[in-house]
Amino acid sequence: MSIVVTGATGQLGRHVVEQLLEKIPAEQITAVVRDEAKAADFAARGVKLAIADYNAPETFDGLFAAGDKVLLISGNEFDKGRPQQHQVVIDAAKAAGVALLAYTSAPGSLTAALADDHRATEEAVRASGLPYTLLRNGWYHENYTENLAPVLEHNAVVGAAGEGRVSSASRADYAAAAVAVLTGEGHENKTYELGGDEAWSFAEYAAELSRQTGKEIAYNAVSVEAFTGILTGAGLPGPLAAILAGVDASIEKGELVVSTGDLSRLAGRPTTPLSEAITAALKG
Ligand SMILES: NC(=O)c1ccc[n+]([C@@H]2O[C@H](COP(=O)([O-])OP(=O)(O)OC[C@H]3O[C@@H](n4cnc5c(N)ncnc54)[C@H](OP(=O)(O)O)[C@@H]3O)[C@@H](O)[C@H]2O)c1
């Protein structure tokens, strides 16, 4: 019996494995990874590794065991059919009869195209008949704070979110919620709407950046079309730029404000303030 984490060498997955290591013995953790070399540090600390790829169903044959608790971290290959990729993991979990299948999804309020893969996967998770937990993760602080270079270069936060607000939280916060579900009891067939304790607007984000950098950083609100053009101009493929600009349209409509309190409740502490994530990014 193991706690099994897919996408374990990804940014969220690494936080999950690190936080699991603080709670349970390493030999009770299995990290599912594509590239063994990327997980050498986990192996050195006694975490079990399983090598598998969502694109190769046979690599998941026999990977799970009855009684395992599995965290399926959604993939990032938008062009490869993520619902089909996730189905591979769900089928293998079903064949093994795992005790819990948790999935990192998106807020139920999100209507942007980005959510389509998540809604399809949620349906497949429920259809599996397995005990499940849906971790509907809101937006990460890091979506913004890890992309500060152009903001600092132009002294402008550019977005198409109007005056909309986002209740983002750090990846470490979402990982804490996942770890609480994987190591705790009573989370079967629950859907958690996860978001940060405080929602902020892009103008407030720009103001906080100004405060911390001592520069005059403005929020430049543009249309969804203009923002798509800016993103493609910066080198993003057209379809991905459209998806990201679509998220801003959702933010303007308030779809990325999650006010359930589920995240801080599961984590057992307040979520990380955006200002802290900015400070960390500016130091880094
Ligand atoms: N809530 C948000 O704001 C937000 C933002 C961005 C993304 N997301 C979603 O949340 C997920 C986790 O976030 P993150 O920051 O950890 O993303 P990330 O760093 O891009 O990690 C994605 C993980 O998925 C794994 N993966 C991708 N394709 C795979 C395949 N074919 N087979 C096996 N593993 C595969 C990657 O493996 P490798 O380590 O081998 O590359 C990586 O571990 C993302 O994949 C995405 O679905 C959410």
Asked if residue 145 has its Cβ within 6 Å of ligand 1, the reply is no
Q: How far is the CA of 215 from the centre of ligand 1 (A)?
A: 33
Q: Which of 76, 110, 139, 146 to mutate to test the pocket of ligand 1 (most atoms within 8 A of CB)?
A: 76
Instruction: Tell me how far the alpha carbon of residue 10 lies from the centroid of ligand 1, in angstroms.
Output: 5
Under the banding of pLDDT at 50, 70 and 90, the label for residue 2 is very high
| Closest ligand 1 atom, residue 142 Cα | 3
Residue 79: which pLDDT band, with cuts at 50, 70 and 90? confident
Domain residue spans of the chain: 3-136+170-194+259-269
Q: Which two tokens stand for residue 42?
A: 């986990």
The pLDDT score that the predictor gives to residue 78 is 87
pLDDT digits (tens, 9 = 90+) for 24-64: 999 999 999 999 999 999 999 999 999 999 999 999 999 99
pLDDT over threshold 90, residue 15? yes
* Nearest atom within ligand 1 for CA of residue 139: 3
**pTM to 2 decimal places:** 0.97
Res. 198 pLDDT band, cuts 50 70 90: very high
- To the nearest whole number, what is the mean pLDDT of the chain? 97
Q: Which helix (H) or strand (E) holds 156?
A: strand 156-159
Q: What local confidence, expressed as pLDDT, does residue 177 receive?
A: 98
- Describe the strand order of the beta sheet including 69-72 as a list of residue ranges: 48-51, 29-33, 3-5, 69-72, 100-105, 132-137, 190-194
Topology of domain 3-136+170-194+259-269, CATH: Rossmann fold (3.40.50)
